[in-house]
Structures are given as C-alpha cells and as structure tokens.
A and B are shown apart, each in its own frame.
Chain A
Amino acid sequence: MIWVARIFSTSIGKKQLMAVTGILFLVFLTTHLLGNLSIYGGIEAFNAYAEHLHALGKLLVVAEVGLVVALIIHVTLAIILFFENRKARPIKYAVDKSGGGGRTLSSQTMPFTGLLILAFVGLHLANLSHHIVDQTNRTIFQIAYEVFANKGILIFYLASMVVVGLHVRHGLWSAFQTIGANHPKYMPFIEWLSIFFAVIVAVGFGSLPLAILALK
C-alpha cells in the first residue's frame, strides 16, 4: 500500500483526491436539491420526503459517513494545498495582473468560499440535522420554518448559496480537468455546465427557505 501513499502525496494525487471528493459533493448537491424541491409539492410532500429519507436507515448512515470522510479529505487537502501554494511564491509581484481569460473571481476565491461553505455546513447541520435537532414532536417543515423565520439566519443562508454557486462554478470544470477529462470536443460543454450548475445550485437552494416561509 506504499504506492497509494506515494501517489496521493504528490501534487497531482492530492488534486485528484480533491477532484473526486468534489465530484461526490456535486452528486450530493444534486440529490439534496432534487429531494428538497419537494417543497414545491406542498408541506405534506416535503415532510413525506424527509420521512422516506430517514426510512433508508443504514443506507443513509453509509451515505453520511461517506460524506463526512470526503469532507475531511477535501478540507484537509485544501488546507495543505493552500499553504504549499503560498510557499511556492514567497515574494509576491508588485503588480499582479491577470492576462484575461485566465483566473476568475470563482477560481481565485476557492479557498475562501470553501471556508465559508464549511461554516455554513456547520450551521446547517446544527439547525436541521436529524442527529442534532430533536424531531420527535415537530415535522421537518416546522423546524425549517422556525430556523428561517430568523432574518439573520435567512440572510446568511441566501448569501451562502451564492458562495456555493461560486465554488461550484470553478470546482466542477476544474474537477474534470484534474482527472484528465479535457477534450476539445466536450470541454466547452463542461465549462458551460459549470456555470449552469452553479446558477441552478444557487437559485435552487436559495429559493427553498423563501418557499418555506411563503407556505405558512
């Protein structure tokens, strides 16, 4: 197993682990969004979705453990890469200017949007996770409504969804590039998908608290 450590301690190996775990989060985001869109079917549908999800039992635990492991890998590597990259340029340029067509707001802010997302995930779990919040006497809808009724939290949620969109905008195509999926025929599509998916995530998740508040 030495070879595994050797591969994943290289710069490309680390980046590829980032990419694979990132893609896992993208899949998670997709299912999470699809599930939560049940809110548009009304309160009953939303609560029913939550119950079905919990009924998965051990399968859900496996998914949760998987996500936590992926999160630990993604965050740990991000921190390592961040400091390695800072070290690689000890003296900064006096003028640091992009050539245009290169780095984007999204690509430049990845470490910071990542950190914000981490904070968001913490709050999100504290507010809504069935492991943390007592759900015996309340439906998931009631819990969510109470959370979003707090204006501060609502604004933080909405802002966080923009941040997630920003992170995904660079993360998606970048993950494909890093695992080597770049071909002149389909790379333009992946780049387009990055933007499209970013908008969907930001608008889709962002609309949920508003929909919940509107339903009461």
Chain B
Amino acid sequence: MSGKNINLTLKIWRQNSPEDRGRWEIFQAKDISTEASFLEMLDIVNEQLALAGKEPVAFDHDCREGICGTCGCAVNGRPHGPDRETTLCQLHMRRFQEGDTLVIEPYRARAFPVIKDLVVDRSAFDGVIQAGGFVSVNTGQAQDANNLPVPRDDAERAMDAAACIGCGACVAACPNAAAMLFVSAKVSHLAVLPQGRTEAARRALSMVAQMDAAGFGNCTNHKECEVECPKGISISNIARLNREFIKAGLASKE
C-alpha cells in the first residue's frame, strides 16, 4: 500500500435545487493520496470548501463498500467512473494521473431529476418495484424452506439478477435513459424461481407499464447498461424480460 499524491482539476456540476438551472464550477484538488477513494477525495475538497465559507458539493453515499447503491455520478462521462464493476465509492484515486481533469456531473435522466449538485431522485425505481417486484406472501404463511427444491443453476441465475443494487447507473449509461436493465433484473430474479412464477405474468406487464409511466426511455440494445453496471448484470436479463413480456401479453389472461 504505497501511495503518492496527485493534483487534479475538477469540473463539477453545481445546482442548488431541482428548479435551479445549474452551472459548472472548477476546483483544484491538491495533494490527493492515490490510496484515497473517489468519495474521500470529494470529502477533502468539501472540507476545504466549507472552511473557505462555501457550500460543499452535495453527493449521496452511505456504505462506502459498494453494496448499498446510494452513491453514483458520472465521471468523465462514465457512471461510477472508468473502472468495470466498480461503484463510485470503490473507485480509487490511483486510477488517475497527475494533472488529470475530471468532469463530474449527476446522472442525467428525465426520470431522475436533480435534487442538488450530484444528488438525484431515483424514487422512480421504487415505483417500478411497487408495481410488482415482489412475491405476495404474508409473514407466517410459508412452508418449510426445503419443501421446495430449486435447481442450483436456477438459484444461481436468480442471484445473478438479484445482485442489482438499484444505483441507477444503467439508466445513466443508457443513451436513451432506459431502465430496462433494472426492471429486467427484478423480473428475472423472480421469474427463474418457482416462488415467483405464480405472479410472473402480472409482474412483467405492470412493471413495464410503470417503467413507461415514469418517463424512462426505450431500450435500443446499446449494451451500455451492462458495461457500466457495477454488479455486472447481464443484458440476457433484458431478453428474459422481453420473453416474459411476450408470454404475459399473448398467453396470459392479464
């Protein structure tokens, strides 16, 4: 763990409120240890801003270990920055060189309005889950867990999809601001498990309807979501959603 210090120029989007038009501000980040994480670098900049009597840059974060899905913004055009399968909090400054300029801006999508600076409102995702991203079983109703065998591969595939952290990078990365990777991850997680089959048709139709109503764009298979997903969720889930949608639309009573 031997680090060095680097100097960077930060071009950061500042916006006071959802109504504000927003503007760019330039900051110098000096003597940043390459061992620091990206968010720690922002912490340092914010501490300096506060001491200089200015308002720190607002950004969402919590666990800082890549699992809660709270953090995220675009760094030089890349959601969560340049590393693959890495959340912003897991991105380290050793990834950057002395003298680099970083353009830092919030996720841009109609369905994710900016709240302040780099903080966006992702509640549209909650709306999509409310439309059917669950199994309707009440507490206490369940049978013994081992009464229902699930093939290991199915469980693994479900887990691949269930690993989604709901960070919104897929929407941010999509040239159309589509939410298909997010929606398909939840539909897939539940569609490949027997527990989720009962409501599969209803789920697919109503989640897609809610996704459209929330103002996300349409999928045109650019694959950018898969590239930027910090959890490596595959677009084969989108294909599965498409299949589930056909099945539900043509063959179910829904």
Asked if residues A103 and B249 are in contact (CB atoms below 8 Å), the reply is no
Bound Cα distance A178, B173 (Å): 19
Closest Cβ of chain A to B126, distance in Å, is 18
Q: Which of B108, B111, B219, B228 contacts A11 (CB 8 A)?
A: B219
Q: Which of A13, A93, A173 contacts B108 (CB 8 A)?
A: A93
- Contacts A81-B220, A88-B216, A89-B217 given; indicate if A99 touches B228 (C-beta within 8 A): yes
Segment from B51-59, B91-99, B206-214 that makes contact with A: B206-214
Asked if residues B246 and A179 are in contact (CB atoms below 8 Å), the reply is yes
Asked if residues B218 and A15 are in contact (CB atoms below 8 Å), the reply is yes
Contacts of A91 in B (CB 8 A): 108
Asked if residues A93 and B239 are in contact (CB atoms below 8 Å), the reply is no
Closest Cβ of chain B to A85, distance in Å, is 4
Residue B195 is within 8 A (CB to CB) of chain A in the complex: no
Segment from A40-48, A63-71, A180-188, A204-212 that makes contact with B: A180-188
Count of chain B residues near A, Cβ 8 A: 49
Closest Cβ of chain B to A170, distance in Å, is 7
Contacts of B177 in A (CB 8 A): 85, 88-89
Residue A96 is within 8 A (CB to CB) of chain B in the complex: yes
Task: Please tell me the size bucket of the interface on A.
Answer: 35 or more
- Contacts A16-B242, A16-B246, A180-B240 given; indicate if A97 touches B77 (C-beta within 8 A): yes
Residue B109 is within 8 A (CB to CB) of chain A in the complex: yes
Bound Cα distance A110, B175 (Å): 13
Closest Cβ of chain B to A133, distance in Å, is 36
Q: Which of A10, A92, A102 contacts B222 (CB 8 A)?
A: A102
Residue B74 is within 8 A (CB to CB) of chain A in the complex: yes
Asked if residues A92 and B224 are in contact (CB atoms below 8 Å), the reply is no
Residue A174 is within 8 A (CB to CB) of chain B in the complex: yes
A residues within 8 Å of B by Cβ?
A: 3, 7, 10-16, 81, 84-85, 87-103, 107-108, 110, 170, 173-174, 177-184, 187
Pairs A–B under 8 Å by Cβ, sample size 19:
A10-B209, A11-B208, A12-B242, A88-B178, A91-B108, A93-B77, A95-B77, A99-B78, A99-B84, A99-B228, A102-B227, A103-B222, A107-B222, A174-B221, A178-B242, A180-B241, A180-B242, A180-B244, A181-B239
Instruction: Kindly list 16 other residue pairs between chains A and B, CB separation below 8 angstroms, not including A10-B209, A10-B212.
Output: A7-B249, A11-B218, A15-B220, A85-B178, A87-B110, A88-B177, A93-B74, A93-B77, A95-B105, A97-B77, A97-B78, A110-B220, A179-B242, A179-B243, A180-B239, A180-B240
